[in-house]
Amino acid sequence: MSLIYKIHHLPTSDHLLLAFLAGKFSSLRLTALTVSAAAFSSTFALESKFSSPQWITRLSRQGIHTFIAVAYTPGTLPEQQTIDAGDWIGSATLLGPKPKLDYELKESGEEVPGEDDEEGKWQMTAVFSAPEHRGRGVAKMLVEAAVDFAANEGDRKACRVRIMIHPDNAVVKRLYDGMGFVDAGRCTLSEAFVQNGDESLLPADGGKGEPEKYFNRLGLIMEKIA
Ligand SMILES: CC(C)(COP(=O)(O)OP(=O)(O)OC[C@H]1O[C@@H](n2cnc3c(N)ncnc32)[C@H](O)[C@@H]1OP(=O)(O)O)[C@@H](O)C(=O)NCCC(=O)NCCS
């Protein structure tokens, strides 16, 4: 019998539970930054320095939504499929809704986004599925859960979800192509850090000392209107 996969929206209101979940999340995130280092703008060197309170703060920041893929052994009853049980094997982070002023990247080549009262604007990042569970639809479930959440949040007519990916990441490009995302423009690494909520992880000079790395417009932007 195959494993049961379920996506949970990480709750942040119960502080004791959050402290426990932050411990599990840090371990999953550091695994992602180790086994799939090339896929992410952040690094193990940066995030392995976070203290427990920092992980808690990061998960409970305003406008941050974390989705966790959990694997349960076959036969686990639905009521036992809770976020604190099972193995955490994947995650995705959604930021938003973002004001147009913060979301729009004028030099990216993206179309001008809609007004805030008409369209919710969201950034998705840090999509990860553990290597031993890949190819079983886990990433698709994570992305679907995040897009569904964004589409149902608030009473706006439309929602726009954006992702920034490394130009050589063909697997993730195929994932998003298959889920209705379209090529929308190009971004710099500096823009990716800021839009993904990691501005504080940029070097103290904002990357000016390494312009090739931080200001080349190489990242691929994909968007989906839902
Ligand atoms: C990209 C990643 C999240 C995919 O996770 P996954 O759970 O294996 O993906 P799924 O099983 O849901 O597959 C979804 C789609 O992705 C594509 N895909 C997944 N694995 C693939 C592979 N090895 N080769 C080509 N396409 C692949 C396919 O289009 C697939 O759809 P299909 O099965 O209908 O053809 C995973 O490989 C990963 O964590 N990679 C490292 C981190 C990363 O690149 N994150 C993205 C940062 S922006």
Domain boundaries, the chain: 4-225
Q: Is the per-residue pLDDT at 189 higher than 90?
A: yes
Q: Tokens at residue 16, please? A: 């004791």
Mean pLDDT of 141-150: 98
196 lines ligand 1 (CB under 6 A): no
Q: Give me the pLDDT at residue 174, please.
A: 96
**How far, in Å, from the CA of 172 to the mean position of ligand 1?**
5
Nearest to 104 by CA among 82, 119, 89, 126: 119
Predicted confidence band of residue 85 (pLDDT cuts 50, 70, 90): very high
3-class secondary-structure state, position 156: coil
Distance from chain centroid for Cα 142: 9
Q: Whose C-alpha lies nearest to ligand 1, atom 9?
A: 139
- Res. 1: pLDDT tops 80: no
Decide: 135 in ligand 1 pocket, CB within 6 A: yes
Q: Is the CB of 137 under 6 A from ligand 1?
A: yes
The stretch 90-109 carries a mean pLDDT of 97
Q: In the chain, pLDDT over 70 holds for what percent of residues?
A: 100
Q: How far is 24 from 88, CA to CA, in rounded Å?
A: 8
Strand segments (E) across the chain: 4-9, 64-72, 87-95, 119-129, 158-165, 182-187, 219-225
Residue with tokens 């974390």, as numbered in its chain: 66
Average pLDDT for 11-28:
98
CB 156 within 8 A of CB 120: yes
Average pLDDT value over all residues in the chain: 96
Nearest of 150, 144, 216, 158 to residue 187 by alpha carbon: 216
DSSP 133: G
Phi, psi of 199 (to 5 degrees): -55, -35
Mean pLDDT over residues 36-61, rounded? 96
Inter-residue contact 146 to 175 (CB < 8 Å): no
Which of 41, 138, 175, 193 should be mutated for ligand 1, with most atoms under 8 A from CB? 175
Beta strands in 105-157 (DSSP E): 119-129
Structure confidence by residue, pLDDT tens digits, 146-184:
999 999 998 888 999 999 999 899 999 999 999 999 999
Collapsing DSSP to helix, strand or coil, 199 comes out as helix
Q: Which numbered atom of ligand 1 lies nearest the CA of 172?
A: 1
- Report the alpha-carbon distance of residue 162 to residue 205 in Å, rounded: 26
Concatenated DSSP letters for 70-88? EEE-TT--GGG--TTSSEE
Question: b/e map of 81-96 (b: 16 or more CB within 10 Å)?
Answer: eebeebebbbbbbbbb
Q: Is 179 in the pocket of ligand 1 (CB under 6 A)?
A: no
* Res 155: pLDDT: 87
Q: Is the CB of 136 under 6 A from ligand 1?
A: yes
Superfamily of domain 4-225: Gcn5-related N-acetyltransferase (GNAT) (3.40.630.30)
The reply to whether ligand 1 has any atom less than 6 angstroms from the CB of 75 is no
* Contact 61 CB / ligand 1 (< 6 Å): no
Give the model confidence (pLDDT) of 197-206 as tens digits: 999 999 999 9
